[in-house]
Structure 1
Amino acid sequence: MEPKAYLHPKYKNVKVWDLPGIGTPNFKANEYLNLVEFERYDFFIIIASDRFRECHTQLATEITRMEKKFYFVRSKMDSIIDAEKRKKSFDQKRTLDTIREDCEKGLRKIGVEDPIVFLISSFELGKHDLNLLQERIEKELPQNKRRVLMLALPNITLKINEKKKKVLEENIGKVALLSAMVAAVPVPGLSIAVDAALIAKELRKYYSAFGLDDPSLQKLCRTSGKTLQEVKSLMKSPFHQGISTTSVLTVLGATAILISEDVVELCVSFIPIIGSVVAGGMSYLTVSKMLKKALNDIADDSRNVRWHQWRAQCKCKNDKNIQQHL
């Protein structure tokens, strides 16, 4: 009966609003956007589980007049496909094309000039048009909000997985630069301690973004029927059992980077200016190299976990079929 905001569980500055249905006496199309305070939203998703009605078109017209973006979504595709499967002549692609064309035709009849309809099932998010909808929204959002949108999306397809990886890669240079600036300060042990803390902080972001942190994995376990340990056994990253400055230092030490940084810091005490430059460069390379390697490993773990989840859900061993879902 009134607008309701739902906070994203990880990104508190992201809100999804569920708005009252349009076309009722209390929410007439020409008054609707003012009543729901349209200016607070970045874009609108107009959802229909059957045919789009004239009130939807009126709403789209009002949104356009106020220079906001909107997207038509035809929901409950799983129910429609299940019903159509009973027909002997069933062909899924033809069925989806027909539904899309019918929706577009109906929207043209009620005044939408160039309609684009996205077909989606909330129970099968990896199927149909979710990627296309996400790409369209991302393309039309201001640059400063695209990164937030990408990280906030559930990690449900391989395409989203790759895009998240690229978004997170963009921040590695900034973290490495901060590390280099600290390394130039001639205080023994400071650079290594800061590097470990910076890397640990970024790794936690990676695990959270890819849905591999413990709270996310526990939710996955509840839907997949697997234990947390079974899911974690699919992960190869050295940090999947826990992230701390100690675990970061252990990995750094195993790759002999820790020793190299100690040596460089010793040089700084003898040759201040040149040593500081060398220390900064060494620290930059250390942090950027380790974060890139860790990000690749975590992205691979995410793909592997998602792959096995789909195998279980699809109840099939045909990798080509699973690839289509992802």
Structure 2
Amino acid sequence: MPTSLQMAAGNPALAAAVQRSRKLLHRRALVAAAASAVPVPGLDWAVDAALLSRLLPQINAEFGLSAAQIDQLDPNKREQVQKAVSLVGSVLIGKLITRELVIRATQTVGLRLTTKQAAKYVPLAGQAVAATIGYATLRYLGEQHLKDCVRVVQEAQLQLPAPKASR
């Protein structure tokens, strides 16, 4: 299966949005990895949910797919976007991202998260495994969301917003 960057090939604006989003994703995944290494029950789940509930709206905005951006589109284009979102099957595009939505999305990787919980209680090696799984889990969820955003933008032939000034 192609990556989000491969899917965006041929469209420089779309590829740039993917790269900006991946940079955000990488930073958040490092924070998730650090939280996963701490042997406090439930801390990593709370951190993952908080990170995703902030990250996903930022990614949506990079692609012009936040709820506010979609509401500003003309009615025909808005309908195209809604159809594309339905076709892709994402529950995280064009919606207010709540903790419940994030938890529903993370249930797809529930086994990894359970393994991460168990591994962190093994001194040193277990914490390293938990951190690695924490990083990989957040990257996986983020990459899946990026692919959904790319597919929606391509399907709806949506014009991307101008990139924000450097962060």
Same fold by TM-score greater than 0.5: yes
C-alpha contact 2:70 2:94 (8 A) present in aligned 1: no
**1:250 Cα deviation after fit:** 0.9
Moved over 6 A (4+): none
Structure with the higher fraction of residues in strand conformation? 1
Number of residue pairs matched by the alignment: 146
Provide Cα deviations, 1:2-60, integer angstroms capped at 9, x if missing partner: xxxxxxxxxxxxxxxxxxxxxxxxxxxxxxxxxxxxxxxxxxxxxxxxxxxxxxxxxxx
Q: Which residue of 1 aligns with 2:16?
A: 163
In structure 2, C-alpha distance between the alignment counterparts of 1:265 and 1:247, rounded to whole Å: 21
Q: Which residue of 2 aligns with 1:306?
A: 157
**1:239 Cα deviation after fit:** 0.9
Q: Does 1:251 align with 2:101?
A: no
Aligned to 2:112, which of 257, 260, 265? Answer: 260
Provide Cα deviations, 1:131-151, integer angstroms capped at 9, x if missing partner: xxxxxxxxxxxxxxxxxxxxx
Shift in CA distance, 263/162, structure 1 to aligned 2, threshold 3 Å: closer
TM-score, with structure 2 as normaliser = 0.76
**1:274 Cα deviation after fit:** 2.0
Letter in 2 for 1:245: R
In structure 2, C-alpha distance between the alignment counterparts of 1:227 and 1:304, rounded to whole Å: 11
Q: Does 1:208 align with 2:58?
A: no
Shift in CA distance, 203/168, structure 1 to aligned 2, threshold 3 Å: same
In structure 2, C-alpha distance between the alignment counterparts of 1:241 and 1:173, rounded to whole Å: 22
Letter in 1 for 2:155: N
In structure 2, C-alpha distance between the alignment counterparts of 1:280 and 1:195, rounded to whole Å: 12
Q: Which residue of 2 aligns with 1:234?
A: 84
Shift in CA distance, 164/260, structure 1 to aligned 2, threshold 3 Å: closer
Letter in 1 for 2:110: L
Q: Which residue of 2 aligns with 1:275?
A: 126
Shift in CA distance, 305/230, structure 1 to aligned 2, threshold 3 Å: closer
Q: Larger C-alpha radius of gyration, 1 or 2?
A: 1
C-alpha contact 1:217 1:228 (8 A) present in aligned 2: yes
C-alpha contact 2:32 2:47 (8 A) present in aligned 1: yes
Give the share of equivalent positions with the same residue, in percent. Answer: 24
Q: Which runs of 5+ in 1 are unaligned?
A: 1-157, 310-326
Structure with the higher fraction of residues in helix conformation? 2
Q: Which runs of 5+ in 2 are unaligned?
A: 1-10, 160-167
**1:265 Cα deviation after fit:** 1.5
Relative contact order: is structure 1 or structure 2 higher (C-alpha 8 Å, sep ≥ 6)? 2
TM-score, with structure 1 as normaliser = 0.41
Letter in 2 for 1:272: P
Provide Cα deviations, 1:209-255, integer angstroms capped at 9, x if missing partner: 2111122112213xxx33856631221233125222221221221x2
Taking only aligned residues, the RMSD between alpha carbons, in angstroms, comes to 2.3
